[in-house]
C-alpha cells in the first residue's frame, strides 16, 4: 500500500515521508467536513472494531464518527461494560471481537504496548488510540496538522510542551513526530514530571523548569492536562501548580505574538490553562477536534480499504 503500513502503532517507527503523506491525505477529508452531506460510501460493508479498555470520550467518538462518515460500521467495546471486569484477558477479548470479522481494530489500553501485542496476534490492521504512557499517534498527527495549517510548515518551529510530560503519551508521540521535522522542543513543568531521560527521546529536546524561560520565543505552546490524581500534598499542591505553571494571558505574551495554543483535552479550566487563554484568539483547541476526524478518516481509508496487497491491478475505467 501507498502508506507502506499495515498498522498504526506509534509515531516512533514512522518516517518523515509517511507522516507527510498522512497529513497531506487528511486535507481532502478536512474539506469533507464542510459538505452539507458528510457521509460517504467509500468503506461500505467494512466494519471497524473500537475496543477501549480505558475510558475516553473524544477519541472514541472521533474514531466512531470517522468510520461512520466513510460508510463503515463499528462495533464498540467499552471496558466498563465488558467482560474484562469478569476477568477475561486482553487476548481473549480481542480474539472474540476478531471472530465477528471486523476489518480493523482501534485499541486504547492502559498498558503500554497492548496494541502491538494485539497486532502480532491478529491478521487485521490495528490502530493505536492511546496505550499507557507510550504513544497516542493520532493525537500527534492531528496536532501536527493543526500546526502545519496555521504555521505553513513544521520546520524550524519552537515548540513548548507544558505540564506532566512523564505520564503523557500525547507528549511522547508529539516529541517523536515534531523532532523528525527539525523543530526545537522545550519541555516545561515540575521537575518530578520531566526526568532527564526525556531529553534523549529525540534530538533538539531540552528541559526547562521556568515557565517564563520555556515560553519565550515559542511558536506553539502545547498544554497538557494535569491529572488531578497526580497533584496532591506534600509534593505538589494544585495552588502551587497554578502559581508556577498555569498558562495565563500574561505568560502567553512571552511567546511570539502569533503563538498557537494547543490542548489535547479534556481541558481543566483554571488549573493548567486560564479560561481567557483557552477561549482566546490564539487557541486552536476546537480546530484540533475537527482535524482529528480528518486524520482518522485518512488513516482508516488507507489502512482498512482496498484489496490485499497482492491483488491484481485493475484496468483503468
Q: Does 92 bind another protein (CB under 8 A)?
A: no
Q: Does 148 bind another protein (CB under 8 A)?
A: no
Among 10, 29, 93, 161, indicate the residue that binds another protein (CB under 8 A).
29
CA dihedral 272, 259, 59, 168 (to 10 degrees): -50
Among 15, 16, 28, 153, indicate the residue that binds another protein (CB under 8 A).
28
Residue by residue, DSSP assigns 206-240 as EEES-HHHHHTT-SEEEEPPPPGGG--TTT--HHH
Q: Does 1 bind another protein (CB under 8 A)?
A: yes
CA distance 134 to 109: 10
CA distance 27 to 20: 11
Residue count, binding to another protein (CB under 8 A): 30
Site for another protein in 207-236 (CB under 8 A): none
Q: Which is nearer to another protein, 22 or 162 (CB)?
A: 22
CA distance 221 to 248: 12
Q: Does 41 bind another protein (CB under 8 A)?
A: yes
Q: Does 36 bind another protein (CB under 8 A)?
A: yes
CB 74 within 8 A of CB 104: no
Among 17, 27, 118, 221, indicate the residue that binds another protein (CB under 8 A).
27
Q: Does 317 bind another protein (CB under 8 A)?
A: yes
**Residue 86 CB, nearest distance to another protein (Å)?**
37
**Residue 14 CB, nearest distance to another protein (Å)?**
17
Residue by residue, DSSP assigns 37-98 as S----TTTT-EEEEEESS--SHHHHHHHHHHHHTT-EEEEEEGGGSGGGGT--HHHHHHHHH
Q: Which range touches another protein (CB under 8 A), out of 241-249, 260-268, 269-277, 297-305?
A: 297-305
Q: Which is nearer to another protein, 193 or 301 (CB)?
A: 301
Q: Which range touches another protein (CB under 8 A), out of 1-9, 140-148, 262-270, 279-287?
A: 1-9
The contact pattern for another protein, residues 247-286, with x = CB under 8 A and - = no contact, is ----------------------------------------
Q: Which is nearer to another protein, 103 or 135 (CB)?
A: 103
Instruction: Say which residues have a Cβ less than 8 Å from residue 147's Cβ, sequence separation at least 6.
Output: 154, 157, 159, 220, 260, 262
Query: Could you tell me which of 61, 74, 69, 1 has the C-alpha nearest to residue 29?
Result: 69
CB 288 within 8 A of CB 264: yes
**Residue 20 CB, nearest distance to another protein (Å)?**
12
Query: Could you tell me which of 138, 74, 107 has the C-alpha nearest to residue 295?
Result: 138
CA distance 290 to 279: 16
Query: Could you tell me which of 138, 115, 133 has the C-alpha nearest to residue 201?
Result: 133
**Residue 25 CB, nearest distance to another protein (Å)?**
6
**Residue 138 CB, nearest distance to another protein (Å)?**
18
Catalog residues that contact another protein under the rule CB under 8 A.
1-3, 25, 27-29, 31-32, 35-37, 40-42, 45, 298, 301-302, 305-311, 313-314, 316-317
Amino acid at each position: 500500500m501507498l502508506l507502506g503500513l499495515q498498522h498504526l502503532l506509534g509515531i516512533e517507527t514512522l518516517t518523515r515521508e509517511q507522516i507527510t503523506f498522512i497529513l497531506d491525505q487528511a486535507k481532502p477529508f478536512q474539506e469533507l467536513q464542510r459538505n452539507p452531506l458528510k457521509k460517504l460510501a467509500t468503506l461500505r460493508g467494512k466494519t471497524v472494531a473500537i475496543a477501549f479498555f480505558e475510558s475516553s470520550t473524544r477519541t472514541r467518538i472521533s474514531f466512531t464518527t470517522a468510520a461512520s462518515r466513510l460508510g463503515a460500521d463499528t462495533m464498540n467495546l467499552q471496558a466498563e461494560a465488558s467482560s474484562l471486569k469478569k476477568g477475561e484477558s486482553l487476548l481473549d477479548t480481542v480474539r472474540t471481537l476478531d471472530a465477528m470479522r471486523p476489518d480493523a481494530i482501534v485499541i486504547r489500553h492502559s498498558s503500554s504496548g497492548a496494541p502491538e501485542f494485539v497486532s502480532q496476534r491478529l491478521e487485521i490492521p490495528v490502530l493505536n488510540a492511546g496505550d499507557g504512557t507510550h504513544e497516542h499517534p493520532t493525537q500527534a498527527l492531528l496536532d501536527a496538522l493543526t500546526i502545519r495549517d496555521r504555521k505553513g510548515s513544521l520546520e524550524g518551529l519552537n515548540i513548548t510542551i507544558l505540564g506532566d510530560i512523564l505520564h503523557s503519551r500525547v507528549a511522547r508521540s508529539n516529541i517523536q513526530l515534531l523532532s523528525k521535522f527539525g523543530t526545537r522542543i522545550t519541555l516545561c513543568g515540575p521537575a518530578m514530571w520531566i526526568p532527564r531521560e526525556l531529553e534523549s527521546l529525540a534530538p533538539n529536546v531540552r528541559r526547562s523548569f521556568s515557565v517564563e524561560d520555556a515560553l519565550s520565543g515559542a511558536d506553539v505552546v502545547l498544554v497538557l492536562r494535569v491529572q488531578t490524581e497526580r497533584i496532591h500534598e506534600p509534593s505538589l499542591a494544585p495552588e502551587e501548580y497554578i502559581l508556577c505553571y498555569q498558562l495565563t494571558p500574561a505568560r502567553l505574551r512571552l511567546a511570539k505574538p502569533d503563538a498557537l495554543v494547543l490542548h489535547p483535552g479534556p481541558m481543566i479550566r483554571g488549573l493548567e490553562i486560564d479560561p481567557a487563554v483557552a477561549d482566546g484568539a490564539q487557541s486552536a483547541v476546537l480546530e484540533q477536534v475537527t482535524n482529528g476526524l480528518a486524520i482518522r478518516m485518512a488513516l482508516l481509508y488507507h489502512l482498512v480499504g482496498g484489496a490485499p496487497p497482492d491483488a491484481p491491478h485493475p484496468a483503468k475505467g
